[in-house]
Structure 1
Amino acid sequence: MSDSPSQDPNDESQQETFISHLIELRERLVKAVAGVIIVFLSLIYWAPQIFNLFSAPLMESLPKGGRMIVTDVTGSFFVPMKVTMLVAFLIALPWVLYQVWQFVAPGLYQHEKKLIMPLVSSSYLLFLCGVAFAYFLVFPTVFHFMAHYNAPLGADMSTDIDKYLSFAMTTFLAFGITFEVPVVVIVLVRFGVVELEKLKQIRPYVIVGAFIVAAVVTPPDVMSQLLLAVPLIALYELGLLLARFVTKQPLGTPAPGENPAD
């Protein structure tokens, strides 16, 4: 009878490490989701007020007597809940990002840790700035234009709350991502994906692309397209300016004199 082959100790160690990573990932996910749920439950009592604040830019632009409508039986309940959940997620996002950081940080070099934390923090703040820009400037401009456009047609502007939610989320996402452009430019230059000079050379294509993107994701009026395209171009230029002060360091490589265990 032949002896069964002995298992490589390195394989056992790798398997144990993989399982421990899965367990830690599960724990981090549970903590992240729990944080969002706790914030949501804390806000759920004020869900109607949160939705009223969320819909204020539209309501203020409607003509006298204008109002929102509900075409779905459960819409008046679930739409405010969805809005409240989205607000809860934005509030709890730092906690979610902290859990992600705690999971990936042990595998990063020290210089990568020093870079990623400012990038993540600035990304979160820039995304909130994009959402605020859309809420306080874009929404009033677009809704005011549409309300006055409907008036000569003799059409009443009564928007379904579910469609308004869909429009608002699309706009928030578009402007939130737009405001991330400086971070994207810095990351591309920092990790050597694209040379800074190359990004400067493609500036005309970026300008054209900005207007194309604005035409696709915004309502069909010139003002709202400009409100997206112009900030996109300005933020790209800001990213080019800040990228000049960035030293190229390929991702996953140690800095000079740095140990992988750091």
Structure 2
Amino acid sequence: MSESNKLRKWFLRSKNQDSGDHGEMSFFAHLDVLRKHLIRSALVIALTTIWAFCYYDFVFDKIILGPKKADFPTYRIMCWISDRFNLGTSYCLKEISFKIINTEMAGQFNLQLNSSVIVGIILGFPYLLFELWLFIKPALHLRERKAARGFVFYATLLFLLGILFGYYIIAPYSIRFLVGFHVSEVIENQITIDSYLSSIVTLTLGTGIIFEMPIVVLILSGLGLLTPKLMRSSRRYAVVIMLIIAAVVTPTPDIQTMLIVFLPLMILYEISIMVAVRVERKNMQAQG
């Protein structure tokens, strides 16, 4: 059976959870169900966005501007490591000297609105995953549901770990290098608020999405589109791709910072292989 037919059967298959009867829904019926799930997700994200908008002083001062302050936990830990192992003053950041400016009339209002939406999406992401699971679950057989048990929990956990890793590791390292880089002493770094916010969001949210790699592998393996053998044979290419991602995400010249990003990605890839092995083993047991 072709891969396109597999996907079509998986998408169209629907099961009554109580009676166990099989049935098929039309494409437009699926779209109508999906629309309801998305509407509920949008309402929850709207509520978390309103919360972020109402408590914006905390969101902006403590979260968004956190990596700009010298007392940020990451910088303090770096100073402690530097003192503990006598690494010199280059690892300890005492001051971050750059100004954040606004160049548009509606810039600060747009900042509050855009950052509130971003925080709302991050806070509402677990519920979005829950609604996605409710949409997919009726199309799964009992065996597939058992195999996917804990999907919402593990996907949320990986996403939050990625968010924390991007916010506390990648963002501070990148800011520390970029604002400290000078082509000439006559050039003063004045960063627009849009540029600062987009950098923080890209590094943080992007890492959260990358950390969902094992979940993506779980889904693709369940559909038969990905196998452990393929992942093992493609490991060398995956390493190159992850090194490129690490180099892009951390625009610093030192190999040490790049390895800080690369190693978690490599660990996630190996975990993904183990996930694919487990799915393949369960599929073979079910067939045999």
The TM-score range, normalised by the shorter chain, is 0.7 to 0.9
1:53-132 aligned at under 5 Å gives the runs 53-60=63-70, 63=95, 66-132=98-164
Q: Report the AA paired with residue 208 of structure 1.
A: V
- Partner amino acid, structure 1, of 2:196: Y
Residues 249 and 188 of structure 1: is their aligned pair in 2 closer, same or farther, counting only changes over 3 Å? farther
**1:195 aligned residue:** 227
Residue aligning to 2:212: 180
- 1:129, 1:176 within 8 Å by CA — same for their partners in 2? yes
- Name the residue aligned to 1:226: 259
Match of 1:33 in 2: 42
C-alpha change, 1:147 and 1:25, in structure 2 (3 Å) is closer
Distance 1:44 1:200, change over 3 A: same
Name the CA shift for 1:200/1:83 in 2 (closer, same or farther; >3 Å): same
2:278 matched to which residue of 1?
245
* 1:128-173 Cα distance to aligned partner (Å, 9 max, x none): 1111111111222222223333397353322111111221222123
Q: CA RMSD in A?
A: 3.3
Of residues 179, 183, 188, the one that matches 1:156 is: 188
Which amino acid in 2 is paired with 1:58?
K
TM-score in terms of structure 1 length = 0.77
The structure 1 residue matched to 2:59, chosen from 50, 71, 85, is: 50
Name the CA shift for 1:24/1:47 in 2 (closer, same or farther; >3 Å).
same
Q: CA deviation at 1:103?
A: 2.9
Instruction: Give the Cα separation in 2 of the matches to 1:88 and 1:169.
Output: 13
Aligned to 2:199: 167
Looking at secondary structure, tell me which structure has more strand per residue. 2
Q: Which residue of 1 aligns with 2:77?
A: none
**Aligned pair partner of 1:235 in 248, 268, 272:** 268
CA contact (8 A) 2:69 2:96 kept: no
Letter in 2 for 1:155: I
- 1:23 deviation in Å? 4.3
> CA 1:20–1:140 in structure 2 vs 1: closer, same or farther (change >3 Å)?
closer
Contact 2:218 2:276 in 1 (8 A): yes
The one-character-per-residue Cα deviations of 1:160-210 (angstroms, maximum 9, x if unpaired) are: 111112212221233123212233344444443233133222222211121
Could you report, residue by residue, the CA deviation over 1:41-85 in whole angstroms, capped at 9, with x for unpaired residues? 223221232122212102437946633111121111111221121
Cα distance, 1:20 vs structure 2: 5.2
Contact residue 214 and residue 225 of structure 1 kept, 8 A: yes
1:92/1:191 Cα in 2 relative to 1: closer, same or farther (>3 Å)? same
Match of 1:78, SS state, is helix
Q: Go from structure 1 to structure 2 and tell me whether the alpha carbon gap of 1:155 and 1:137 turns closer, same or farther (over 3 Å shift).
A: same
Which residue of the partner structure matches residue 167 of structure 2?
135
Deviates more, 1:98-107 or 1:50-59: 98-107
Give yes or no for contact 2:98–2:191 (8 Å, CA) kept in 1. no
Alpha-carbon separation, structure 2, partners of 1:179 and 1:167: 18
Compared CA separation, residues 33 and 188, structure 1 to 2 (3 A) = closer
Q: CA-to-partner distance for each residue in 1:28-50, whole Å, 9 max, x for gaps?
A: 33222111112222232212321
Q: Is the 8 A contact 2:133 2:152 kept in 1?
A: no
- Residue pair 1:62, 1:147 contacting (<8 A) in 2 also: no
The secondary structure found in structure 1 opposite 2:204 is helix
Distance 1:245 1:21, change over 3 A: closer
Corresponding residue pairs, total: 242
